[in-house]
Amino acid sequence: DSGVTQTPKHLITATGQRVTLRCSPRSGDLSVYWYQQSLDQGLQFLIQYYNGEERAKGNILERFSAQQFPDLHSELNLSSLELGDSALYFCASSVGGQGAREQYFGPGTRLTVT
Amino acid sequence: EDQVTQSPEALRLQEGESSSLNCSYTVSGLRGLFWYRQDPGKGPEFLFTLYSAGEEKEKERLKATLTKKESFLHITAPKPEDSATYLCAVWSGGSNYKLTFGKGTLLTVNP
């Protein structure tokens, strides 16, 4: 158990809909990272937040957005969903915010878009 | 564009048969290289960070090494519980850094 929690574990929704994925980092960690993992693309870094502020941006689509709240939990919002958005979404956390430090991953949310 | 290539894609070993996994990379300004282990349906588990060529790190049966073009994950006398997908990732760039993962090597260790 990494100490990172993600909810929900599974999510099934229809094309065009909007969903919110939630992540709580390990106690004491200030950085949260979001990833998308699909069979063909592998693990793709989406975005990092550090202590409430966006720190780095990867391959995140404009239809996706994230935020980190004062209690350090983070949410990833996915809108206008397409079939290709079906994937595992992971959240990870780390202590520092300078760059991509060693990260501790949550169990993931499996999103299925039908 | 940063590229990370892991080989082989899949590796099957007998218990006790040592081998190495390769991660070759092309990045502008390597800041660090990470190795993770991922079990099916679970999040990656951090193993090592390497920061500069020549650096080595060990943990139980695993040893990671780094050169200017590639990293190796050496597995000595593997056990069935070492079966997993091993991912490497490279961190490059400045304040808006890049983090690029390879597609992984699926390791199966047979008893």
Output the pLDDT for position B97: 76
* Closest Cα in chain B, distance from residue A22 (Å): 15
Residues A88 and B3: their CA atoms lie apart, in Å, by 22
Residue B83's CB is within 10 A of a number of other CB atoms, namely: 17
Inter-residue contact A60 to A47 (CB < 8 Å): yes
Q: Give the pLDDT confidence of B9-18 residue by residue, as tens digits.
A: 999 999 999 9
Output the pLDDT for position B63: 98
List CB contacts (< 8 A) between B49 and chain A.
Answer: 101-102
Residues A76 and B31: their CA atoms lie apart, in Å, by 27
Query: Does the domain made of B3-97 have the CATH classification 2.60.40.10?
Result: yes
Is the pLDDT confidence value at A99 over 80? no
Q: Which B-chain residues 14-53 have CB contacts (< 8 A) with chain A?
A: 31-32, 34, 36, 41-46, 49
Inter-residue contact B55 to B32 (CB < 8 Å): no
Q: Is B68 on the interface with A (CB under 8 A)?
A: no
First-to-last alpha carbon distance for chain A, in angstroms, is 31
Output the pLDDT for position A2: 87
Question: What tokens appear for B65 in the block?
Answer: 């090494």
Output the pLDDT for position B29: 84
- The residue of chain B nearest to residue A33, with distances taken between CA atoms, is B99
Look at residues A3, A96, A2, A105 and name the one whose alpha carbon lies nearest to residue A45: A105
Output the pLDDT for position B77: 97
Whether residue A25 is preceded by a cis peptide bond, meaning omega within 30 degrees of 0, is no
Is the pLDDT confidence value at A59 over 90? no
The arithmetic mean of pLDDT across residues A69-98, rounded, is 94
Put simply, the answer to whether B45 touches A2 (Cβ < 8 Å) is yes
Q: Are strands B62-66 and B56-59 parallel, antiparallel or unpaired?
A: antiparallel
Q: Give the pLDDT confidence of A20-39 residue by residue, as tens digits.
A: 999 999 999 999 999 999 98
Query: Nearest by CB to A90, which of B31, B43, B97?
Result: B43
Q: Which residues of chain B have pLDDT under 70?
A: 95
DSSP E strands in A1-114: the ranges are 5-7, 10-13, 19-24, 31-38, 42-50, 53-57, 64-68, 74-78, 87-94, 104-105, 109-113
Output the pLDDT for position A30: 94
Confidence of residue A12 (pLDDT cuts 50, 70, 90): very high
